[in-house]
Amino acid sequence: MRHLFALIAPLILFSGCIGTTDFYGRSLEPKSLIEFELYDHNNDPFNLSDIVSDVIMVGFIHTSCGEKCDNLTALMAQSFDLLTDQEQKRVSQVSITTDPWHDDSSRLNYYMMNNSVEWPHLTVRDINSELGMMESVWASFGTSVEISENQSKSMARCSIHLMDYTVNHTYHVILIDDERNTRVQWLYSEWDSESVAADIRRLASE
C-alpha cells in the first residue's frame, strides 16, 4: 500500500500542470479571427492574411487617447526591441484604432510619426458603411469600446481635433499565433516588456 501511494502522489502533484501553457500573460482559449479588410495609415487596404509572420502583436489605441495609448505603443516597441534580429523577423506588429470616427489614415500617420513607430495602424475608410466591420474586429479581439458625450468641447484633450466625446476602451495587446488564433492577452496595467517578449518567443516556437 505504501508503494502504491508513492506512485500516486507524484501524479496528484503534477496533474494540475498537464495541458497548461507557460505564458506570462493571460492565456486565451484559441479562437480563430474573422477575415477583415481595414485601411492602413497610407489609406491602402490591409488584410490579416497579408501577414506571414509566426506571431502578430495587435494593439488597440486611438490618436486622442493621450498618455495610456502613447505608453502602450512605446511598450509594444520596447518588447519587440528585446527580441533578437532573427526573432524579430518572425513577428509583426499592428495597431487598430478604437476611434474610427476621427482616426482617418492621415491622423494615424501623424500619430505614428509622433510616436516614432513604423508598423501598420488601421482604421476604416467609410465609417457609415464599415463601422459594422470595425465593431466585429473589436469583438473578435475582446476589445470593449465605449463612447461617452463630453459636456463641453473645452474638454478636448488633443490639439489635432476638437472632441465632443470621449472614447474608453480595453487597453491591451493580443498575441496571435501562426494559425491566426488569439492566444495571449497583455493588459496595459499588467505589462512587463521582458515577459511579453518571452511569450512571443514561446508562441513562435510552437
pLDDT digits (tens, 9 = 90+) for 119-147: 999 999 999 999 999 999 999 999 999 98
Q: Which residue has the higher pLDDT, 157 or 77?
A: 77
Report if residue 17 sits inside a domain.
no
Report if residue 59 sits inside a domain.
yes
Report if residue 181 sits inside a domain.
yes
How many domains does the chain fold into?
1
For 167-201, the DSSP string reads EEE--EEEEE-TTSEEEEEEEGGG--HHHHHHHHH
Angle in degrees, CA 59, 62, 63, rounded to 5: 125
For 72-116, the DSSP string reads HHHHHHHHHHTS-HHHHTTEEEEEEES-TTT--HHHHHHHHHHHT
pLDDT single digits (tens) 77-86: 999 999 999 9
Report if residue 177 sits inside a domain.
yes
Mean pLDDT, the chain, integer: 86
Report if residue 12 sits inside a domain.
no
Find out whether 107 and 121 touch, Cβ atoms under 8 Å: no
CA distances from 157 to 102, 160, 172 (A): 13, 9, 21
> For residue 196, what are the domain limits?
25-204
Within its chain, how far is the Cα of 11 from the centroid? 38
| pLDDT over 90 percentage in the chain | 74
Average pLDDT over residues 13-37: 74
Q: Residue 186's domain is classified under what CATH number?
A: 3.40.30.10
Q: Which three cell numbers stand for residue 143?
A: 476589445
Report if residue 56 sits inside a domain.
yes
Within its chain, how far is the Cα of 139 from the centroid? 12
Q: Which three cell numbers stand for residue 70?
A: 502613447
Report if residue 198 sits inside a domain.
yes
Report if residue 94 sits inside a domain.
yes
| pLDDT over 70 percentage in the chain | 83
